[in-house]
Amino acid sequence: MAIRNCTNCGREVVDGKRFCAGCGQPMTLLTATSEPEPAALSCSSCGAALAPGKRFCVRCGHPIDAAMPVGQTGPEEAGNTANDLSPAVISATQDEMPAPEGHSKRSTSGAIVIAAMVMVVACGFLAWNAYRHWEITSRISETKQQVQEAVSIWADAFRSRNSIAVAASYATTVEKYFHRNNVSRDQIHGYYQSAFTRIGYIDTYQIGDIKIEILPALHDRDDTAIPSRAAATFHKTWNYRQFDGKTSSGEVIERLTFTSTAEGWKIVREEELSVIRASRQ
């Protein structure tokens, strides 16, 4: 039985008495001011009560260092106690807990995949634009070279006074031939054939300062990838003599409009933009 001392007179009082037998001091004050007894220890292996100062359990021989106070919950019981927490405590605990590591890794991986997809699409778009620009530039350059060659063939045919070769430079139907509209290739052949029978000698027939221009297609004005019409503007100088002794000379700015056909680039319009000088004697 535990013995306590009265806080007023110091007399020993048996635990459980309500008043001191020496001075009548209420013992409730002792209870309020008394220090709590140390908790009894129990074996963590078999649960048997352990006396203070013992190093091993007298029942199972388990080291007392591993013992815990009687009534203290073990790991299994602590897990059950967590389930009894109030909703407010659980909510606060959950808010403070970090996101699971697996979820964070999945989110990061998803962001990386999306970023990679966006980069692939952007690179593909840039590559397509670069290819489209290269294609248009290549076709335009090729068209200008072909039209340049067509102008040279047309001029060489005139210098050689070959009416068939000159007429072959035109389309089957020419939209505008100087002041005439819708002239056939056969008609143009007839004009040159008649002219060459009168010309005895061509002293000068020069074409210079040629400028090639790509024109919009008649039915698709946005057609730039595959040019179908082009124009050649140039400075032309001539001087020739006829069999009857008459001469013809002049200097003009002329324009030939070409269209792409199955036979190649053919003239569909021939116009004199400016007559600098012209003389017949």
**pLDDT for position 76:** 46
pLDDT of residue 83: 47
d(CA 8, CA 27): 10
Rounded distance between C-alpha atoms, residue 274 and residue 209, angstroms: 14
- Inside any domain, residue 21: no
Residue 241: which residues within 8 A CB-CB, separation 6 or more?
A: 199, 200, 201, 203, 247
The alpha carbon torsion through 117, 121, 124, 128 (nearest 10 deg) reads 170
Residues 154 and 268 in one domain: yes
Helical residues (DSSP H) of 63-200, grouped into ranges: 75-82, 87-96, 101-159, 163-168, 185-198
Burial of 267 (0-12, 13-18, 19+ CB in 10 A): buried
Q: Could you tell me the CATH number of the domain that includes residue 170?
A: 3.10.450.50
**Are 275 and 161 within one domain?**
yes
CB 215 within 8 A of CB 269: no
CB count within 10 Å of CB 266 equals 20
Whether 66 and 151 map to the same domain: the answer is: no
Per-residue pLDDT of the chain (281 residues; tens, 9 = 90+): 567 788 888 788 777 788 888 787 887 644 444 455 556 677 877 877 777 777 778 778 778 764 455 455 444 444 444 444 444 444 444 445 555 556 666 778 888 888 888 888 888 888 877 866 677 778 888 999 999 999 999 999 999 999 999 999 999 999 999 999 999 999 999 999 999 999 988 999 999 999 999 988 765 555 556 788 999 999 999 999 999 989 999 999 999 999 999 999 999 999 999 999 999 88
74-105 pLDDT, tens digit per residue, is 444 444 444 444 444 444 444 455 555 566 66
In a domain, 98, yes or no: no
pLDDT of residue 258: 97
Residue 92 has a pLDDT of 43
Max Cα-Cα span within the chain: 170
Radius of gyration of the chain, Cα coordinates, nearest whole angstrom:
57
- pLDDT computed for residue 38 by the predictor: 58
Q: Partners of 176 in the beta sheet? A: 181, 269
The residue among 26, 58, 73 that closes a domain is 73
148 located within any domain: yes
Q: Are residues 266 and 148 in the same domain?
A: yes
The H or E element spanning position 6 is none
Task: With respect to residue 159, please indicate whether it lies within any of the assigned structural domains.
Answer: yes
Q: Which of 73, 99, 125 is the last residue of a domain?
A: 73
Contact 232, 243 (CB under 8 A): no
Helix (H, G, I), strand (E, B) or coil at 22: coil
Distance CA(36)–CA(5), nearest Å, equals 15
Single-letter amino acid code for the residue at 166: V
Using CA atoms, how far apart are residues 170 and 167, in angstroms rounded to an integer?
6
6 within a domain of the structure (yes/no): no
- Domain with 66 in it: 39-73
Count of structural domains, the chain: 2
Q: Give me the residues paired with residue 255 across strands.
A: 233, 271
C-alpha to C-alpha distance for 54 and 69, rounded to whole angstroms: 14
147 lies in the same domain as 273:
yes
Q: Would you say residue 154 lies in a domain?
A: yes
Do both 69 and 168 map to the same domain? no
Shared domain for 239 and 155, answered yes or no, is yes
DSSP H or E stretch at residue 41 = strand 41-42
Are 69 and 148 part of one and the same domain? no
Please tell me whether residues 55 and 167 are part of one structural domain.
Answer: no
Residue 55 within any structural domain of the chain: yes
Residue 157's pLDDT is what? 96
pLDDT single digits (tens) 200-251 = 889 999 999 999 999 887 655 555 567 889 999 999 999 999 999 899 999 9
Shortest CA distance to 17 belongs to which of 26, 200, 8, 166?
26
The closest alpha carbon to 143, from 264, 268, 267, 271, belongs to 264
* DSSP assignments along 59-75, one per residue: TT--BGGG-EETT---H
Indicate the residue among 30, 55, 73 that finishes a domain.
Answer: 73
- Specify if 276 maps to a domain: yes
Q: Would the pTM of this model clear 0.75, i.e. be above it?
A: no
